Amino acid sequence: MQLIRTIVWVLLIVALLLFSFNNWQPVEVKIWEGLILETRLPALVVASFLLGLLPMWLLHKGASWRFNRRISSLENSVKAATISTPAPIATTTQLDAAAADPQAPAS
């Protein structure tokens, strides 16, 4: 699996380098009326991609953190419930008393 991941990353980097090499031309970005940013096209594409990726990555990390906390909380509550309520142990005196008086409710 690690080999496939490495191959995919290498292919993405090669594709980005080819795109950058073939499209290395200046682009003017008009931010406000008097403010114009002159940059290269690959820088604009990479910046746009990262601006779109960042909110989804933060949402994913937040959900993952919340789910891990929830799982830990549920696991701890199950551990506490099993430790705090042990099963009653039947002793010989309780068994003898129950055998002597069959009408008495079992406790």
Cα separation, 75 vs 79, in Å, equals 6
E strand map for 3-67: 26-30, 36-40
The verdict on residue 13 lying in a domain is: yes
The verdict on residue 85 lying in a domain is: no
* Tens of pLDDT, residues 7-45: 999 999 999 999 999 999 999 999 888 899 999 999 999
Cα separation, 75 vs 70, in Å, equals 9
Structural domain boundaries, residue 41: 2-73
Q: 29 and 37 in contact (C-beta within 8 Å)? A: yes
Q: How many domains does the chain have?
A: 1
The verdict on residue 48 lying in a domain is: yes
The verdict on residue 104 lying in a domain is: no
The verdict on residue 82 lying in a domain is: no
- The pTM of this model reads 0.59
* Tens of pLDDT, residues 54-90: 999 999 999 999 999 999 999 999 888 877 666 667 6
The verdict on residue 98 lying in a domain is: no
The verdict on residue 91 lying in a domain is: no
The verdict on residue 34 lying in a domain is: yes
Q: 33 and 49 in contact (C-beta within 8 Å)? A: no
